[in-house]
């Protein structure tokens, strides 16, 4: 099964009227298309993923591995997700969280 990047676009994430930062959905879709990532790394724009206190949440899955990222409040983080997806597509290996995103990783159960 191909790795998947799931971007929350639910009740809170990306809702500027709730004082959250915008989620650059068009940028992500365009980046996936321009880099021909869709066959190696799936991109899903979803409804609410649940941990709303972490607003602007993303979930990266590969097999049984799940990596949650929250507080994606700057374009540089979405650019890093695209770069990471390109690395995953090229390596087909272990999901190693880039340093820029590692500080945004969280446990949704905690």
> What's the pLDDT score for residue 93?
63
Q: How many helices (H) and strands (E) does the chain have?
A: 3, 5
Q: Which domain holds residue 97?
A: 4-106
Question: Residue 90: which pLDDT band, with cuts at 50, 70 and 90?
Answer: confident
As for how many domains the chain has, the answer is 1
CATH assignment at residue 62: 3.40.30
Residues 6+ apart with CB under 8 A from 99: none
Q: pLDDT averaged over the chain?
A: 93
Question: Residue 2: which pLDDT band, with cuts at 50, 70 and 90?
Answer: confident
pLDDT tens column, 28-42? 999 999 999 999 999
Per the listing, tokens 């097999």 go with: 63
> What's the pLDDT score for residue 92?
64
Question: Residue 7: which pLDDT band, with cuts at 50, 70 and 90?
Answer: very high
* Position 109 pLDDT exceeds 90: no
Are 33 and 26 a contacting pair, CB within 8 Å? no
Question: Residue 104: which pLDDT band, with cuts at 50, 70 and 90?
Answer: very high
pTM of the model: 0.92
Are 95 and 67 a contacting pair, CB within 8 Å? yes
């Amino acid at each position: 099964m191909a790795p998947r990047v799931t971007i929350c676009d639910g009740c809170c994430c990306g809702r500027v009227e709730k004082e959250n930062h915008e989620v650059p959905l068009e940028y992500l879709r365009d980046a996936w298309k321009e880099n021909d990532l869709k066959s190696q790394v799936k991109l899903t724009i979803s409804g609410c993923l649940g941990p709303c206190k972490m607003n602007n949440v993303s979930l990266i899955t590969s097999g049984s591995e799940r990596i949650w990222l929250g507080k994606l409040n700057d374009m540089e983080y979405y650019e890093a997700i695209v770069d990471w997806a390109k690395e995953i597509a090229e390596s087909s290996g272990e999901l190693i969280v880039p340093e820029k995103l590692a500080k945004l990783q969280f446990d949704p159960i905690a």
